[in-house]
Structure 1
Amino acid sequence: MADFFWFSDAQWARIAPLLPTDTRGMPRVDDRRVLSGIVHALQSGGRWSDCPEQVYGPKKTLYNRFVRWAERGVWEDIFSALAGADDAPDRLFIDSSCIKVHRTAGGAKGGPLANAIGQTRGGRNTKLHAICDTRGRPHVLLLTPGNVHDMRVAKACIAAMPPSAELVADKGYDSNDLRAWLAERGTAAVIPPKRHRRVKLDCDPVIYKQRNVIERMFCRFKDWRRVAMRFDRNIKTFMATIAIAATVIWWL
């Protein structure tokens, strides 16, 4: 078992109460075994058929469970429940990171934009927007096409959290509108001003240096091969991959 992922007793004790209980028909196959196999596939980046059947069971069971729960939003609900269990942080960090889209991820129903795939200078990309705390733990995750500017979804991401004392972001988030909106929420903006500003605004350099915590968070995300490269056509299954990675890395 050393080479394969398996939920520890402590991890399973946290996640088991959050699993769906509305199963109809035949009882589900061993949840711990199946979910461990799903994590193994997403973490290693291999094909579902590469998951050892003697460890995790039939590949069809793993894939079907992953897709079925992705369509229902189960994986995102588990992440939200665990991430929301703690008190709201006083200091939050917001940023985004682009994820390359593999050629096999095209052709989903609804078209590329509906599935958060956009054309950029570097090719097809999906952008992952996130908000994390001072420990680098993600609290909010959102996918958009790679050519969507961060400011277009900044308020939506921030509004998903209770107001914090401070919000730390890079100069891409420097706008009068966002600063005024944050002030209305009682949040201090720790954002360096853009170069073209006539009146330079203050930005606490000590606090701003901590912003690398969200950069490190994205690096840890991309240790998972199915996060570092998008293979999923459907936005729901890719969002499920992101939610599972966040849950396993930070919240179990």
Structure 2
Amino acid sequence: MRSTGSRYRVFTDEQWQRIEPLLPSNQGRRGHPFGEHRRVVEGIAFRYRTGIPWRDLPREQFGPWQTVWKRHRRYAADGTWDRVLAHVLAEADAAGMIDWAVSVDATIARARQHATNTTRPDQDTGAGSNHKKLPLTEVEPPGHGIGRSRGGLTTKIHHAVDGRGRPLATIVTGGQRNDGAVLAQVLAEIHVPRPGPGAARTRPEAVIADRAYATGVIRTELRRRRIRAVIPDKKDQIAARQRRGSRGGRPPAFDEQAYRGRNVVERYFALAKQWRGLATRYDKLAITYRAAVTICAILTWLRA
């Protein structure tokens, strides 16, 4: 394999040695075997880090851009990067590195015109009905995860991060989706396998979120799952309770000290958006855009 210059590398040698065995092998595959795994994967990461068009990938460093794109499309559709992240999370949990006080929030990414030159955001792509047996994260969502919000045509990335700001779960939706309405789906994506026998861990100790998640439905669901809610009340909810006096009931418990740690999710958004291809969405397909978000999450854990 020809060496990829350090200027173009995203993974260190140590990081690559950890994920290479987790990538699909050539065994039993028809056609041309997968060649130069690292060269292609570095090309995928480099493209999103710089935000350049696929056609502008340096051929001498990464080979034909078509090969890099097709590999990325394949790995996005078959859940390769989700499996790699699950393995990395399992190792981190076994080492006691995951802080299970989970912060959740969402961030907006403007969809560039090249990403919206497809089925309109309010139209169903029909993908969901054709792939009922696949996980939701491997099915192209209606409208390709692009919606119309104040910023125009946008995508929203919903993240759950651990207490140190490292991602555990990711959902991509249209920019118009309400944060609280997607919380259950985000929490359902938390799945950390155990290295030995036993079920995967899916329940955080606490969920820390801002007032966008302060609804009775969310508090009830968290209580049902025995998850401590660290969510401040909305001002109108406080005012309504005070107007009712003793009939207003007690305010929900709120740990102000724990809530101060919520900013870790904001700090992770700032880190992830240093990749220009994530700060602005250029992808037509939501699953390929989400796969790039997952690659960034894997790198965050590998660096930890």
Query: Which range, TM-score by smaller chain?
Result: over 0.9
Q: What is the distance in 2 between the residues matched to 1:184 and 1:230? A: 36
Deviation at 1:84, TM superposition (A): 4.0
Segments of 5+ residues of structure 1 without an aligned counterpart are none
The answer for the alignment partner of 1:100 in structure 2 is: 110
Do residues 191 (structure 1) and 231 (structure 2) align? yes
Question: Counterparts of 1:23-172 in structure 2 under 5 Å?
Answer: 23-87=29-93, 89-109=99-119, 111-113=120-122, 114=142, 115-161=144-190, 162-172=202-212
The answer for the alignment partner of 2:16 in structure 1 is: 12
Query: Greater CA deviation, 118-127 or 60-69?
Result: 60-69
Q: Amino acid of the residue matched to residue 106 of structure 1?
A: T
TM-score under structure 2 length normalisation: 0.77
Q: What is the distance in 2 between the residues matched to 1:223 and 1:48? A: 18
Deviation at 1:83, TM superposition (A): 2.8
**1:120–1:147 Cα contact (<8 Å) kept:** yes
Q: Amino acid of the residue matched to residue 102 of structure 2?
A: L
Q: What is the distance in 1 between the residues matched to 2:231 and 2:33? A: 52
Deviation at 1:202, TM superposition (A): 3.4
Q: Amino acid of the residue matched to residue 190 of structure 1?
A: V
CA radius of gyration, larger in: 2
Deviation at 1:6, TM superposition (A): 4.7
Do residues 242 (structure 1) and 293 (structure 2) align? yes
Q: What RMSD, in angstroms, separates the aligned Cα atoms of the two structures?
A: 1.8
Q: Amino acid of the residue matched to residue 116 of structure 2?
A: G
Percent of matched pairs sharing the same residue: 33
Q: What is the distance in 2 between the residues matched to 1:134 and 1:62? A: 34
**2:156–2:175 Cα contact (<8 Å) kept:** yes
Deviation at 1:228, TM superposition (A): 0.2
Q: What is the distance in 2 between the residues matched to 1:59 and 1:160? A: 32
The answer for the alignment partner of 2:272 in structure 1 is: 221
Runs of 4+ with deviation above 4 angstroms: none
Q: Matched residue of 2:299: which SS?
A: helix
Query: Greater CA deviation, 54-63 or 134-143?
Result: 54-63
Q: Amino acid of the residue matched to residue 4 of structure 1?
A: Y
Judged with a 3 Å threshold, the aligned counterparts in structure 2 of structure 1 residues 205 and 98 are, in CA distance, closer, same or farther, namely same
Q: What is the distance in 2 between the residues matched to 1:158 and 1:240? A: 18
Q: Amino acid of the residue matched to residue 146 of structure 2?
A: I
Judged with a 3 Å threshold, the aligned counterparts in structure 2 of structure 1 residues 203 and 13 are, in CA distance, closer, same or farther, namely same
The answer for the alignment partner of 1:178 in structure 2 is: 218
TM-score under structure 1 length normalisation: 0.92
Q: What is the distance in 2 between the residues matched to 1:108 and 1:78? A: 30
Q: Amino acid of the residue matched to residue 9 of structure 1?
A: D
**2:162–2:168 Cα contact (<8 Å) kept:** yes
Q: What is the distance in 2 between the residues matched to 1:104 and 1:225? A: 15
**2:49–2:276 Cα contact (<8 Å) kept:** yes
Deviation at 1:201, TM superposition (A): 3.0
Query: Greater CA deviation, 136-145 or 45-54?
Result: 45-54
**1:164–1:186 Cα contact (<8 Å) kept:** no
Q: Matched residue of 1:3: which SS?
A: helix
Query: Greater CA deviation, 181-190 or 153-162?
Result: 153-162
Q: Matched residue of 1:107: which SS?
A: coil
Query: Greater CA deviation, 21-30 or 111-120?
Result: 21-30
Alignment equivalent of 1:212, drawn from 242, 263, 272 = 263
**1:70–1:237 Cα contact (<8 Å) kept:** yes
Deviation at 1:97, TM superposition (A): 0.6
